[in-house]
Copies of this chain bind each other. A is one copy, B any other.
Amino acid sequence: MTDTAPHPRPARSAGRELKEKGLFEAARAVFAEEGFKGATTAEIARRAGVPKANLHYYFPTKEALYRAVTEEILTDWLAAASSFDEKDDPKEAITAYIGAKMDLARADPLGSRIWASEILRGAPVIKDFLETTLAEWIASREAIMRRWIEAGKIRPLEPRYFFYMIWATTQHYADFEDQIRALNGGVPLSDEQFQKAKAQVVDTILHGITPL
């Protein structure tokens, strides 16, 4: 009320952000379905409901748009990864981490699919992330797990392959959603089914690494 100019500059900025968001989300969907090369700027613009020339006003090139999309995905990945560090107890940490990864796969399957598609084509855009940030992440968590192993808290194993199993299994529910749907009578997993799957993944892996 006291503000006589509710959106003097924000108006422009907000409009811009909204349109940019629309293009961004449309791009996520198309990149997830078609991959980087298969995606077309025309299709992205069409889904966002703007002329193609307008897309190029907000994002100079298809690759710039793609890079913006991937960056957000890496951020989300790291956020989920942080749940591994919140507990000192192996079971709690692993349970939290698997849960976070499963929830992310459920909440943002497109992100997971874009990641998968990016790896499949040789990871040209995120290669640096893999070689630096991700490599450091897994190295330090590997050290943590080795301490757990030495303390007899979990069975001896190669931590890397353990993480691969978690990544593969959790991301499978996003990347292969269409296959899972086909095997589920043509309908997507319900929330109950997904929760059960999540519990089973946690349960099986936890049992798999618990000492006798």
Interface residues of A (CB under 8 A from B): 32-38, 113, 116-117, 119-123, 127, 130-131, 134-135, 138, 155, 157-158, 160-162, 164-165, 167-169, 171-173, 175-176, 178-180, 182-183, 186, 196-197, 200-201, 203-210
Chain B residues near A33 (CB-CB < 8 A): 120-122
Contact A175-B119, Cβ < 8 Å, known A169-B168, A197-B161, A207-B155? yes
Q: Is the CB of B197 within 8 A of A208?
A: no
Residue of B nearest to A206 (CB): B208
Residue of B nearest to A170 (CB): B168
Chain B residues near A122 (CB-CB < 8 A): 33, 178
Q: Is the CB of A164 within 8 A of B158?
A: no
A142 vs chain B, min Cβ distance (A): 10
Residue of B nearest to A176 (CB): B119
A209 vs chain B, min Cβ distance (A): 6
Chain B residues near A204 (CB-CB < 8 A): 157, 162, 165, 205, 208-209
Q: Is the CB of B180 within 8 A of A164?
A: yes
Chain B residues near A161 (CB-CB < 8 A): 196-197, 200-201
